[in-house]
Amino acid sequence: MAKQELTKAQKEKRRDIALKNLKGTVARLGVVYNIHAAKQDFGEAVNAALEQSVYKPALAEGASYTDPKTGEKVNPFASVAESARVGGQRYTGNVSELQAIQSCAVAEQESINYVTLQDLAGLVGYKGQVPKAIAGMYVEDAVSSKNPFAKKVAALIIGSYQQNSLFGAASKALGEVASKTSKGLEGAIKAVEQELAGKAA
């Protein structure tokens, strides 16, 4: 049976959902997984910083996203647990944190496919205009296109997005740790001042 072609309206609805995903929790957790998987490139300090500044807050706010294909809300932890059930029997699924954030990385990649080249370039922080002839192409169409220009530009934008998300997240996480350390030191110094002032009185 031939695959049914989506209408423009359906593709745009899918695009809107995918954009929200790429700006939300699923993308952040996807980055956590990708950096963890490339641990030798980023080191323990970055992974520890991401756990504190991204992973734990994402869990606290409710780690969920919307499936662009179905429009359904997905909780990665619940979803992985259900898919791991033995013989379909409830409460028999074992799930690890790693499996859950890996599923977020997969969902992030799927969301990338459904946005346009201009969308993805914008998420990187690119302020310019992707060439008009291909700016509105969905990423999945561009990467499979017979147009070599569209294909090469898509590869460039995807590569930039991936590099920006990884190094940007690492840099931000370390910056937040440094800021907390600085504020913690400030508080500690004030506490010492108050303690000594109390003794002097």
Query: What's the 3-state SS for the chain?
Result: CCCCCCCHHHHHHHHHHHHHHHCCHHHHHHHHHHHHHCHHHHHHHHHHHHHHHHHHHHHHCCCCEECCCCCCEECHHHHHHHHCCHHHCCCCCCCCHHHHHHHHHHHHHHHHHHCEHHHHHHHHCCCCCCCHHHHCCEHHHHHCCCCHHHHHHHHHHHHHHHHHHHHHHHHHHHHHHHHHHHHHHHHHHHHHHHHHHHHHC
Q: What pLDDT was estimated at residue 70?
A: 92
Res 183: pLDDT = 60
**165 lies in a domain?**
yes
Q: For residues 140 and 157, is the Cβ–Cβ distance under 8 A? A: no
Query: pLDDT tens track of the chain, all 201 residues?
Result: 456 788 999 999 999 999 999 998 888 889 888 888 887 677 788 888 888 888 888 777 777 889 999 999 988 888 887 887 877 787 777 778 888 889 889 999 999 999 999 999 999 999 999 999 999 999 999 999 999 999 999 999 999 999 888 887 777 766 665 566 556 566 667 777 777 777 665
Q: State residue 180's pLDDT score.
A: 60
pLDDT of the residue at 9 = 95
- So what's the pLDDT on residue 110? 94
Provide the domain count of the chain: 1
In a domain, 2, yes or no: no
Query: Does residue 36 lie in a domain region?
Result: yes
Token pair 């690890």: residue: 96
Q: Is 176 exposed, middle or buried (0-12, 13-18, 19+ CB in 10 A)?
A: middle
Sorted by sequence, the CB contacts under 8 Å of residue 94 that are 6+ apart come out as: 81, 84
The pLDDT assigned to 3 comes to: 64
Residue 183 lies in a domain: yes
Which residues form the domain of 30? 8-200
Residue 1 in domain: no
pLDDT at 177: 55
